[in-house]
Structure 1
Amino acid sequence: MPTNVLKLALALLIASLALFSIGAFAHGVDDSTRAFLEQNQGVQFIPFMYIGAKHMITGYDHLLFLVGVIFFLYRSKDVLLYVTMFTIGHSTTLLFGVLSDIQVNAYLIDAIIGFSVIYKGFDNLGGFKRCFNWQPNTKIAVLVFGLFHGFGLATKLQEFHLLPDGLLTNLIAFNIGVELGQFAALAFILIIINAWRHSPSFQRFSTLTNTLLMSTGVMLMGYQLTGYFVN
């Protein structure tokens, strides 16, 4: 694939993720989905799986964090390991948060999710080693932030006061959908990044990309904190 095409494709990808992460689209629910969730009764496995997949694909704050996580991972087993750590984290708090009805302020959780994007961009730029001469355990960090991302998903579902009838099965279906959406998005992102790594400009543009990740995280975090104080 030509170098210029790779640069353009990745630039468009990052710009699109940055744009949509700032605003309601990051956790938005369309009218048809809202109506379904508010009126749902009993087990609806396929619809909940579809909603989970759609929510992850449009949950650009989650994807921005994952872009940072996999950006410098070259081996498939490392990608699998880190994505699994993230999955364990968000699956645990998604199920636990909804089933135990743990109430967490959605703005604060989403602000922490925004901070996770800042953290990963800063980490990828070598900020911890340069500024603090210290490197956090990246696996633990991904797991911990995964827990917060799961609470972000849980708070969205809790808004609809889902009925207990079939709730566990529906939550499992939703979580499977989230994983499928995550897999689809990451597959596309990995294709672009892996092809781009063959370009001599990879290091230079990796700095730009991770700087954009940090900037987007700052905007997203500020957006959510503003919503918290205003509301």
Structure 2
Amino acid sequence: MDALYFELGWQHIVNWAAYDHILFVIALSAIYLLKDWRKVLILVTAFTIGHSITLALSVLNIIRIPGEIIEFLIPVTICITALSNILRKTEQPQNLQLNYFYALFFGLIHGLGFSNYLKSLLGTQASLVQPLLSFNIGLEVGQIVIVLCILLFSSVIVKVGNIKRKDWTMFLSSATFGAAFIMVLEGVRGFLE
């Protein structure tokens, strides 16, 4: 594993400047508590798989999508995920398949968002496999740390704070939706200018 690219992946996800990625992880994790960690690990891994696929395809110049479109679509994915949590009928997460689809499909979109950044770092390196793998492993580890923090915090709020799980999910998802919606509006404004 390439330690430099692992570190870059790790730093990218835990960097507050990349809060769009953190918001997506929050939206994805908002309906779960610490006892659900296995389900969330599957979701985060699905996201990383989708993310890795498009990141590799883009870095290899197999697909090209303008950055403005991707930067608009990323907050849209956060809004859809958060809205899905808000509209959820049950307190307990029931439909892991839908969340898995969100994570995998939206990971494809988010991977395109990293591609220009990673392309500039890779330059003309002959082998892209090792750096790409290391970068994605760093991202995965960072996501897992963020998810564990969210799950732990949510569990404390619900169990110790005696807050209803559905109310906490609604609060966390609504706040995430609001932050992402502002990003969507900024993206629309960018298209209109």
Structure 1 residues 62-71 or 196-205, which shifts more? Answer: 196-205
Is the counterpart of residue 208 in structure 1 residue 171 in structure 2? Answer: yes
Q: Give, in angstroms, the shift of residue 206 of structure 1.
A: 3.0
Q: Give, in angstroms, the shift of residue 160 of structure 1.
A: 5.1
1:1-231 matches, cutoff 5 A:
45-58=2-15, 59-74=18-33, 75-126=36-87, 137-159=98-120, 162-198=123-159, 199-202=161-164, 203-230=166-193
Q: Give, in angstroms, the shift of residue 118 of structure 1.
A: 0.7
| Partner Cα separation in structure 2 for residue 53 and residue 84 of structure 1 | 15
Q: Which amino acid aligns with 1:187?
A: L
Native 8 Å contact 2:24 2:77 kept in 1: yes
List runs of 5+ in structure 2 lacking aligned partners: 90-94
Native 8 Å contact 2:59 2:115 kept in 1: yes
The superposition leaves residues 42-64 of structure 1 with CA deviations (integer Å, 9 ceiling, x where unpaired) of xx921111111111112211121
Q: Which amino acid aligns with 2:19?
A: Y
| Partner Cα separation in structure 1 for residue 112 and residue 28 of structure 2 | 19
Q: Give, in angstroms, the shift of residue 161 of structure 1.
A: 6.5
Q: Which amino acid aligns with 1:201?
A: I
Native 8 Å contact 1:56 1:62 kept in 2: yes
Native 8 Å contact 2:56 2:132 kept in 1: yes
Q: TM-score, normalised by structure 2?
A: 0.82
Taking a change above 3 Å as real, the CA distance of residues 104 and 159 of structure 1, as seen in their structure-2 partners, is farther
Please state whether the residue corresponding to 1:201 is helix, strand or coil. Answer: coil
Higher RCO (Cα < 8 Å, 6 or more apart): 2
* Amino-acid identity (%): 25
Q: Which amino acid aligns with 1:204?
A: D
Q: Which amino acid aligns with 2:13?
A: M
Native 8 Å contact 1:114 1:221 kept in 2: yes
Structure 1 residues 193-202 or 220-229, which shifts more? Answer: 220-229
Q: TM-score, normalised by structure 1?
A: 0.70
Root-mean-square deviation (CA), in Å? 2.4
Taking a change above 3 Å as real, the CA distance of residues 89 and 137 of structure 1, as seen in their structure-2 partners, is same
| Partner Cα separation in structure 1 for residue 108 and residue 73 of structure 2 | 11
List runs of 5+ in structure 1 lacking aligned partners: 1-43, 130-134
Q: Give, in angstroms, the shift of residue 183 of structure 1.
A: 1.8
| Partner Cα separation in structure 2 for residue 178 and residue 93 of structure 1 | 14
Q: Which amino acid aligns with 1:47?
A: L
Please state whether the residue corresponding to 2:77 is helix, strand or coil. Answer: helix
2:92 equivalent in structure 1? none
Native 8 Å contact 1:99 1:168 kept in 2: no
Q: Give, in angstroms, the shift of residue 146 of structure 1.
A: 1.0
Q: Give, in angstroms, the shift of residue 196 of structure 1.
A: 1.4
| Partner Cα separation in structure 2 for residue 83 and residue 160 of structure 1 | 25
